[in-house]
Amino acid sequence: MIKDTPHRLSHTTVALHWLVAIGVLGMLAVGLYMAENDAYALYPLHKSSGMLLLLVILPRVAWRVLNGWPAPVGSYRAWEHTLARAVHWVLLVGTALMPLSGMLMSAAGGHGLAIFGWELLAANPDPAHPDKVIALSKAAAEFGHETHEILGSVLIGAIILHVAAALKHHLLDRDGTLRRMLGKAL
């Protein structure tokens, strides 16, 4: 099945949704842990995983934009449609901007970009202090950092709303929305 239908979502839609969902949840968990515990040893893993996750996020964004949004399973109030659409857009755009802001923060901050040791952009070491780096652009690095931090909080809020809505559809409305997102037909 290539395209979504009102009764069933395509394998592509389901696979991209769950790959991105699991990846983003893992990245948020690791990111929060690193920030709370100054776990600097995890930064290379976090950065590498984030850049690789972007290779799944971008096709998901393209697929959603080209394929359109799935039709609602039931009939809902206007405010519910508006909130659902807003949360879906926040999730779609936020998941794309999160790794991009992280890459900007790292690259502009002089830390370079590497995927599991494969250097894409060299770090900019400080000759006077080899254990430190010199930012390529402090303003861009700070913008990337602030954006990454704010987006993390926004995504957590949007994910909570998204999961709550999925549970509402499943437990209260019993409309099959969650079953459809699991790849089952209505």
pLDDT in tens, 5-16: 878 899 999 999
Q: Is residue 186 in some structural domain? A: no
Amino acid (one-letter) located at 44: P
The CATH number covering residue 90 comes to 1.20.950
Q: Please name the residue ranges forming H helices in the chain.
A: 11-37, 43-67, 78-108, 138-167, 177-181
pLDDT at 1 over 60: no
| Token pair for 160 | 């909570």
Residue 152: inside a domain: yes
pLDDT of residue 184: 84
Read off the tokens for 164.
């709550």
What residues make up the domain containing 47? 11-181
Q: How many domains does the structure of the chain reveal?
A: 1
Residue 141 to residue 131: CA distance in whole angstroms: 19
Check residue 71 and report its DSSP letter.
P
161 lies in some domain: yes
- Nearest CA to 149 among 22, 31, 55? 31
Q: Which residue has the tokens 């599991």?
A: 116
Residue 161 predicted with pLDDT over 80: yes
pTM: 0.92
Q: Which amino acid, residue 118?
A: W
82 is a domain residue: yes
Q: Tell me, yes or no, whether 42 lies in a domain.
A: yes
Q: Is residue 59 part of a domain?
A: yes
In the predicted model, is pLDDT for residue 39 greater than 80? yes
Answer yes or no: is 52 within a domain.
Answer: yes
User: In this predicted structure, what is the pLDDT of residue 149?
Assistant: 97
Tens-place pLDDT, residues 101-158: 999 999 999 999 999 999 999 999 999 998 999 999 999 999 999 999 999 999 999 9
Read off the pLDDT of each residue in 163-183 and give the average, rounded to a whole number.
Answer: 89
Side chain identity at residue 176, one-letter code: G
The closest of 81, 96, 72 to 16, measured between CA atoms, is 96
Tens-place pLDDT, residues 48-88: 999 999 999 999 999 999 988 888 887 888 999 999 999 99
